[in-house]
């Protein structure tokens, strides 16, 4: 009797243990995919659940909320609480469109948007995201020059890479959603950093000299233009002055000519007296030696003053 009772008790315990294998727990950020006889049938959310034990049912738990990250060109190393980074040259070194080699370290963030597709269509989602991102990133780098990659095109490259990777993963029915691709570090390879710095310094010197020359030209050219304009205006004024003087002289000459034609002797005498007056205007007396050798003193005012008044 006791042996039979113990036998039943053991059987019940075995059955309970077997049934307990169907108990599972789903975390807050997870979903459980239930398979019945190996085929997906339904999903369950966070909490404690039960399904029929193996081989009737089984489950796959997928984290659908956590943001995951894959690194291209480098690896994050955590040792004794300290985080450091190691460059992976075989991934980081890429060829640019102008034939240069550049070191690119990038990271891609993603999460699972469709757990069913991710669990049953993708064998290794982690590797799929990393290899796809690296491939697309190399393609985007290869169509640009090294200067563009280092400066103005970084954000655009990251954006284009994210869009293209998402397009490829969707074509695979992977159930993966790309959140962001960002270029963590973009730099020339270590072997050419010194030469690259020299080139950059030369370019900066070139820009500086051009700016200085432009500044000098902007300072000198307006001054020269102003000086030229001033000289031109002075020349025009001088020319106008001379023209007016010539016209005045012409009018005066014509007036004298008219008077001369009317009264030649009177006009001639008047002109002679005017000339004498202008020549001796600052002289009161002159000495004259006549034919007899006698020196005479003449008063100029008495000589020319009466007839001219």
Q: pLDDT for 173-193, tens place per residue?
A: 999 999 999 998 888 887 777
Task: Give the integer Cα–Cα distance in Å for 69 and 279.
Answer: 110
Residue carrying the six token digits 């894959």: 70
Report residue 198's pLDDT band, with 50, 70 and 90 as the boundaries.
confident
Partnered with residue 262 across adjacent β-strands are none
State yes or no: pLDDT of 56 exceeds 70.
yes
Report residue 237's pLDDT band, with 50, 70 and 90 as the boundaries.
very high
Q: Which CATH architecture group holds 68-190?
A: 2-Layer Sandwich (3.30)
Task: Give the integer Cα–Cα distance in Å for 72 and 92.
Answer: 7
State yes or no: pLDDT of 287 exceeds 70.
no
Q: What is the dihedral of CA 4, 8, 11, 12, to 10 degrees?
A: -160
Q: What is the mean pLDDT of residues 245-256?
A: 94
Residue 309 is predicted with a pLDDT of 39
In percent, the amount of the chain with pLDDT more than 90 equals: 61
C-alpha closest to that of 91 among 18, 48, 125, 141: 141
Cα-to-chain-centroid distance, residue 38: 57
Strands of the 39-44 sheet, one edge to the other: 39-44, 30-36, 57-63
Question: How many beta carbons lie within 10 A of that of residue 160, not counting itself?
Answer: 17
Residue carrying the six token digits 């008495």: 302
CA-to-CA separations, 5 to 9, 12, 15, in angstroms, rounded: 6, 11, 15
- Answer yes or no: are the C-beta atoms of 118 and 138 closer than 8 Å: no
Task: Give the integer Cα–Cα distance in Å for 202 and 196.
Answer: 10
Residues 6+ apart with CB under 8 A from 180: 108, 109, 158, 162
State yes or no: pLDDT of 112 exceeds 90.
yes
**CA quadruple 267, 271, 276, 282: dihedral sign:** positive
Domain boundaries, the chain: 18-63, 68-190
Residue 300 is predicted with a pLDDT of 61
Residue 216 is predicted with a pLDDT of 95
C-alpha closest to that of 107 among 66, 158, 146: 158
pTM score, two decimals? 0.62
Residue 76: which H helix or E strand, with range?
Answer: strand 74-79
Averaged confidence pLDDT in the chain: 88
88: helix, strand or coil:
coil
Residues 6+ apart with CB under 8 A from 272: none
Residue 307 is predicted with a pLDDT of 45
Residue 178 is predicted with a pLDDT of 96
Burial 41-65 (b: 16+ CB within 10 A, else e): eebbeeeeeebebeeebbbbbbebe
Report residue 271's pLDDT band, with 50, 70 and 90 as the boundaries.
confident
Residue 161 is predicted with a pLDDT of 95
């Amino acid at each position: 009797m006791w042996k039979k009772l113990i036998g039943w008790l053991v059987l019940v315990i075995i059955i309970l243990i077997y049934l307990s294998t169907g108990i599972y727990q789903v975390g807050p950020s997870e979903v459980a995919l239930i398979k019945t006889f190996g085929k997906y049938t339904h999903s369950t959310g966070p909490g404690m659940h039960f399904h029929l034990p193996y081989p009737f049912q089984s489950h796959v738990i997928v984290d659908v909320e956590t943001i995951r990250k894959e690194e291209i060109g480098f690896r994050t190393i955590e040792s004794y609480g300290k985080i450091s980074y190691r460059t992976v040259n075989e991934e980081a070194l890429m060829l640019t469109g102008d034939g240069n080699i550049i070191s690119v370290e990038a990271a891609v963030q993603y999460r699972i948007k469709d757990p069913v597709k991710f669990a049953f269509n993708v064998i290794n989602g982690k590797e799929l995201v990393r290899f796809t991102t690296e491939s697309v990133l190399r393609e985007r780098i290869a169509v640009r020059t090294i200067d563009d990659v280092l400066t103005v095109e970084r954000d655009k490259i990251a954006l284009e890479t994210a869009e293209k990777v998402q397009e490829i993963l969707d074509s695979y029915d992977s159930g993966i959603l790309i959140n962001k691709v960002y270029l963590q570090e973009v730099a020339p390879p270590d072997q050419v950093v010194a030469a690259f710095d020299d080139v950059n310094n030369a370019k900066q010197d070139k820009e500086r000299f051009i700016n200085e020359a432009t500044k000098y030209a902007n300072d000198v050219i307006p001054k020269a233009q102003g000086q030229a304009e001033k000289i031109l205006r002075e020349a025009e004024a001088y020319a106008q002055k001379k023209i007016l003087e010539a016209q005045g002289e012409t009018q005066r000459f014509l007036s004298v000519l008219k008077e001369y034609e009317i009264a030649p002797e009177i006009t001639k005498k008047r002109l002679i007296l005017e000339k004498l007056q202008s020549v001796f205007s600052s002289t009161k007396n002159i000495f004259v030696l006549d034919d007899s050798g006698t020196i005479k003193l003449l008063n100029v005012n008495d000589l020319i003053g009466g007839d001219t008044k």
